[in-house]
Amino acid sequence: MQTIDASIGAVRFPKPIPFGWFSAGRVGEIPSDLITADGEAGAVWSFRAVGRELVAWHDGEQYRIADAFCPHLGAHLGVGGRVDDGCLVCPFHEWTFDGSGANASIPFSDRTNAKAQLRMYPTSEIDGHLRFWYHPDPTVEPTWEIPTLIDDSMIPCGTAEWTVASYWQEMAENSIDMAHFVFIHGSPGLGEVVSATSEPTVNGSTSGRSAGPIRHVINKTVYETPKGLEDGELNVDMYGPGTSVTTFALFGTIKLLATTTPIDNGHCTIRMNFFHDGQELSAAIAPAFVKEVKRQFEQDIPIWENKRFVASPALASYEKPITEFRSWAAQFYA
């Protein structure tokens, strides 16, 4: 049997971790002890994402996310650290850091140290996710925001989560790779990308590298249904590299909110939340639908985990959307 050369791993996807808003997790799954029963700040939570060790805490008003290593002498703030009066307290020498990451106090000293600045990541809490902004350059503020994508009338109907040894761009390219739907997922016919636009527009252009971080793609796909073959429309809206909403309209409307969080340069965690529009038909088809999306995702995993990125691919005439997607995706690499 042919074995994969280890050196191939390093070049499977020769791009850095992209910048953007990424989910640290669903708010409901963040350890509950970050906020005490009386609403006070509580414990410190450690996690790994964007190739870094991170910590999160709640300062009484909002979640804060920071690098895990103390700028004093490098202790891990999530191992023995605590929150006191909204400030993160390092376990090693008990220097404290406020919600902006600034040093707030030093024991046995009436001065603080301006150099002891914790690297902070701007956070937001929308659609049930705690998101953080990551850019390799800590001085770059968020260049776009993610609006509320799921309104209150939508009814949750399923969740899923995987960590995959792949890269966000490789996985996101799936939605406009129409031929693979036939051969990997068993679609009865070749679908078509009807339109792909980006916003905000830049110099009047709605596509390509010059256009904005939000991308709207409309696909026409043939579905096999109990009533025979039906044309269905699939709207994929991407909000940078970390969040997408896919709206499936066939007999009812189902939305899939998916977040992709790079863990390191080789693994991503994907979290899916499904919703239907409350119509009887949508509610009825939702369970089978959720099952089918999960099945299709799992069919893609062996391809993603073993493929390598081909920078200059040989494409068929109907695969122009792949080239367009790639030029849009290029804007997220600093």
User: Which residues within the stretch 6-25 sit at the binding site for ligand FES (CB under 6 A)?
Assistant: none
Q: Are the C-beta atoms of 144 and 249 separated by less than 8 Å?
A: no
**C-alpha span between 147 and 67 (Å, rounded):** 26
170 binds Fe ion (CB under 5 A): no
- Residue 234's binding partner out of ligand FES, Fe ion, none, with CB under 5 to 8 Å set by partner kind: none
- Residue 300's binding partner out of Fe ion, ligand FES, none, with CB under 5 to 8 Å set by partner kind: Fe ion
75 binds ligand FES (CB under 6 A): yes
300 binds Fe ion (CB under 5 A): yes
Residue 293 belongs to what H/E stretch? helix 280-306
**C-alpha span between 311 and 328 (Å, rounded):** 14
Q: Establish how many alpha carbons lie within 13 A of residue 137's alpha carbon, considering only the half-sphere containing its beta carbon.
A: 8
90 binds ligand FES (CB under 6 A): yes
Q: Are the C-beta atoms of 81 and 44 separated by less than 8 Å?
A: yes
Among residues 92, 144, 251, 309, the one that binds ligand FES under rule CB under 6 A: 92
104 binds ligand FES (CB under 6 A): no
Among residues 73, 315, 316, 330, the one that binds ligand FES under rule CB under 6 A: 73
Distance in Å, CB of 52 to ligand FES, minimum = 17
Q: Establish how many alpha carbons lie within 13 A of residue 166's alpha carbon, considering only the half-sphere containing its beta carbon.
A: 24
93 binds ligand FES (CB under 6 A): yes
72 binds ligand FES (CB under 6 A): yes
Residue closest to 62 by CA, chosen among 103, 94, 30: 30
Which amino acid does the sequence have at 17?
Answer: I
What value, to the nearest 5°, has the Cα angle with vertex 176 and ends 173 and 180? Answer: 85
How distant, in Å, are the alpha carbons of 8, 114, 119, 135 from that of 16?
16, 31, 20, 11
Distance in Å, CB of 81 to ligand FES, minimum = 9
Stretch that binds ligand FES, among 12-20, 90-98, 123-131, 275-283 (CB under 6 A): 90-98
- Residue 174's binding partner out of Fe ion, ligand FES, none, with CB under 5 to 8 Å set by partner kind: Fe ion
> Which of residues 92 and 251 has its CB atom nearest to ligand FES in the complex?
92
Site pattern 41..70 for ligand FES (x: CB under 6 A): -----------------------------x
The tokens for 119 are 């690297």
> Which of residues 9 and 302 has its CB atom nearest to Fe ion in the complex?
302
- Residue 70's binding partner out of ligand FES, Fe ion, none, with CB under 5 to 8 Å set by partner kind: ligand FES
- Residue 173's binding partner out of Fe ion, ligand FES, none, with CB under 5 to 8 Å set by partner kind: none
> Which of residues 91 and 189 has its CB atom nearest to ligand FES in the complex?
91
Among residues 103, 166, 169, 174, the one that binds Fe ion under rule CB under 5 A: 174
The tokens for 73 are 């002498």
**C-alpha span between 255 and 253 (Å, rounded):** 7
Residue closest to 126 by CA, chosen among 156, 90, 150, 102: 150
95 binds ligand FES (CB under 6 A): yes
Neighbour tally for 130: CB within 10 Å: 24
What value, to the nearest 5°, has the Cα angle with vertex 316 and ends 312 and 318? Answer: 115
Which residues contact Fe ion (rule: CB under 5 A)?
174, 300
